[in-house]
Structure 1
Amino acid sequence: MEVKHMSVEVLVNDYRNGYLENIHPGHICGVNATGIIKYKVGDTEHWTFLRSALKPIQAIPAIANHIQEHFKLTNRETSLIAASHRGEELHIDELEKLLDKIGVAEEELLCHPTYPLNSRAKEALLKKNQPKRKLYHNCSGKHLGMLALAKVLGVNTEGYFELEHPVQQEILIALSSISGCSIDQIRMGVDGCGVPVYALPLKFLANTYLRFARPELICDQSIQDAVIKITSMMNEHPEIISGTNAICTSLLMDDNIVAKGGAQGVYCFGLKEEKLGFSLKVMDGSEEQWPLIVASILEQIEYKNQDTIQRLYNLSQKEIYNDNNKLVGNKKAVFKLVEV
């Protein structure tokens, strides 16, 4: 399929000794409470795979079908089904509780055995000569949520990752409902962990996270109730959703924000008081630019919580150091939000 790259703009520049070395182009879309585009950079129609930004949506059917009550899960345990965890000890402790309560074997998870994304957690395992595990995969909580949903629905857990499976069909329906994009328009793909993943125009991603921030805008009552629970758990346990020194953790510490990123440069967040939803796509697929981009967005809309903005700048690695820890350059957000 031929893809047209429409009006992409530079979001971040990398400088070395004052000279431009790299550019990071992309798109940004911001929508207001009515779902109308309010802010833009580049192409708000750009088709974007949600990747792990889909995880809170993938959690909706599980919560709507009361897996938490059925398996007597705590909020902390349940929040893992919407997480991209880093495999730290705090994550593995809760994941093992999920395995036990849901009553599935680790081998039933489709995701591939790996080491944790958190470098310290990985190094600790390597020092002890410990093997890879499926549970260390950053998507393992999501897969456990899908298996739990299959059990509650009374359907076969085998093939839970196939598009035709009732679990995946429930997720697709939830995505269409909350995004406002009809199912026949949604484009299909396969995520890194093996389950279906979907692409929508960037404006629909922004609309999705607007509704996570303002669930009263959701017409379906069961989805609205599920979203309220999911966002509450994400804000209650931000360290579970991601991990130490991660952008999702930093943003979710702010109770006014619901946020989630995905692989290959996609990031989404909603602002509750401001009634705004934002989505962005860094077209070179990098994630390092996220904190700097989101901080710049918040500054440009005059967001009031300076602590949140400062946490993002603390993560942003604006200064570039070489292997000898010598300052050799800097990064700078160079985009200007266009108010539509």
Structure 2
Amino acid sequence: MLSNAAPLAEIWRGPIPESAHAGHIVVADETGAVTQAWGAPETVVLPRSSAKMIQALPLVASGAADAAGLAERHLALACASHEGAPLHARAVAEWLDARGLSEADLLCGPEPSRDKALRFEMIRDGETPTQLLNNCSGKHAGFLTLMQHLRAGPDYVAPDHPVQISARDAFEEVTGRDSPGFGIDGCSAPNFATKMDAMARAMSVFATAHRREDALSRAAARLVEAMIAYPLEVAGEGRACTLLMRAAREPVALKTGAEGFFVAILPERGTGIAVKAADGATRAAECAIAAVLVRLGVLDPEHPDVARFLRPEIRNRRGLSVGRIEPAADLLS
């Protein structure tokens, strides 16, 4: 992973460089060809939650979403790593209830809310984490909906379950390569591996999907539209995905993933981007994706919601600004 990694971000404390992050970035054009790259495009990676829109493809392409009467907001939630705010938990609970399901049918595991107000309220009231608050509960509601449509068994996260077989088929279709394997994600679902350039290609497939009429492309286009229309559902207040999508000068779908992954889909350009911080640092991936989007003119570096990820301040416990994170110079030049 560190072999041939390129600089992504530097951490400065006053005038002194203190730390650095390295990794890999690939930009793919409308044909899926690599147009820009930093690091090693052939690096094998687990895209983690950055692949959620791929995992949601069978939900839409199979007809399950339409048969269940899912709206655009539900499709955004199926792609989400949400913060477990009340709006997210309520929406997933209503989705499950409409399908005759409940929280008990989810297999993502309980998680505390990442919404600060709700989390403190739950601690104060002695409430325990729930599966509805899990950042992947929307994805799992989508899995359950597809499971019902396929009339398959309840262990929908098993690698050999029809839901996960369809997810893997979709993954290999849009990446254009056979996956070399998978790891089990934090939410218990398989997360399929691929190479950096293949993940960027997959994002370009989503970015150009609105130009094609096959079932998979129509599904991809609907998911992109849903993410752009509902950025709050995709992540939450104060989160990078939500803020950067709102700040963009053109429509863009953004999705973070654990261990320093980040992807971007630019439908007006047909461009796909994949970012991986080799050390798994979220701050590095957020800085790098912001820098590449600034480089491409998608983001304004002076926009306050862009600056907070492009060049975030480091403050000490007294609230004093004592340093900053800077993107590697090569990303902006």
TM range (shorter): over 0.9
**Which amino acid is the alignment partner of residue 204 of structure 1?**
A
Q: Distance in 2 between matches of 1:177 and 1:231?
A: 17
Among 226, 232, 244, the alignment partner of 2:219 is 226
1:78 Cα shift?
3.3
TM-score by length of 2: 0.93
Match of 2:235 in 1: 242
2:67 is aligned with 1:67: no
2:268 is aligned with 1:273: yes
Q: Distance in 2 between matches of 1:231 and 1:154?
A: 27
Among 245, 254, 264, the alignment partner of 1:252 is 245
Among 138, 156, 162, the alignment partner of 2:158 is 162
Contact 1:234-1:252 at 8 Å conserved across structures: no
1:222 Cα shift?
1.0
Change (3 A) 1:286 1:118: farther
Cα deviation 1:36-80 (Å, max 9, x = unaligned) = 111111111111101001111111101112233222233223321
Change (3 A) 1:40 1:192: same
Give SS of 2:11's match. Answer: strand
Contact 2:30-2:270 at 8 Å conserved across structures: yes
Q: Distance in 2 between matches of 1:189 and 1:148?
A: 23
Match of 2:293 in 1: 298
Q: Distance in 2 between matches of 1:146 and 1:159?
A: 10
Match of 1:24 in 2: 21
**Which amino acid is the alignment partner of residue 162 of structure 2?**
P
Change (3 A) 1:63 1:307: farther
Contact 1:257-1:272 at 8 Å conserved across structures: yes
Give SS of 1:135's match. Answer: coil
Change (3 A) 1:338 1:236: closer
Match of 1:81 in 2: 78
**Which amino acid is the alignment partner of residue 298 of structure 1?**
L
Match of 2:6 in 1: 9
1:17 Cα shift?
2.2
Match of 1:122 in 2: 119
Contact 2:52-2:78 at 8 Å conserved across structures: yes
Q: Distance in 1 between matches of 2:268 and 2:286?
A: 21
Among 176, 191, 200, the alignment partner of 1:180 is 176
Q: Distance in 1 between matches of 2:211 and 2:69?
A: 29
Q: 67-76 or 272-281: which moved more?
A: 67-76
Contact 2:31-2:204 at 8 Å conserved across structures: no
2:321 is aligned with 1:327: yes
Contact 1:290-1:316 at 8 Å conserved across structures: no
Cα deviation 1:254-277 (Å, max 9, x = unaligned) = 452122110000111122223321
Q: Distance in 2 between matches of 1:35 and 1:309?
A: 30
Among 309, 312, 319, the alignment partner of 2:306 is 312
Among 204, 207, 231, the alignment partner of 1:210 is 204
Give unmatched runs, 5+ long, in structure 2.
Answer: none
Change (3 A) 1:216 1:69: closer
TM-score by length of 1: 0.91
Give SS of 2:255's match. Answer: strand
Cα deviation 1:151-201 (Å, max 9, x = unaligned) = 011112x2110111000000111111111112xx43211111111001111
Structure 1 residue ranges, 4+ long, deviating more than 4 angstroms after superposition: 307-310
**Which amino acid is the alignment partner of residue 165 of structure 2?**
Q
Match of 1:56 in 2: 53
1:221 Cα shift?
1.0
**Which amino acid is the alignment partner of residue 40 of structure 1?**
A
Structure 1 vs Structure 2 CA RMSD:
2.1
Give unmatched runs, 5+ long, in structure 1.
Answer: none
Cα deviation 1:203-226 (Å, max 9, x = unaligned) = 0111111111111576x8111111
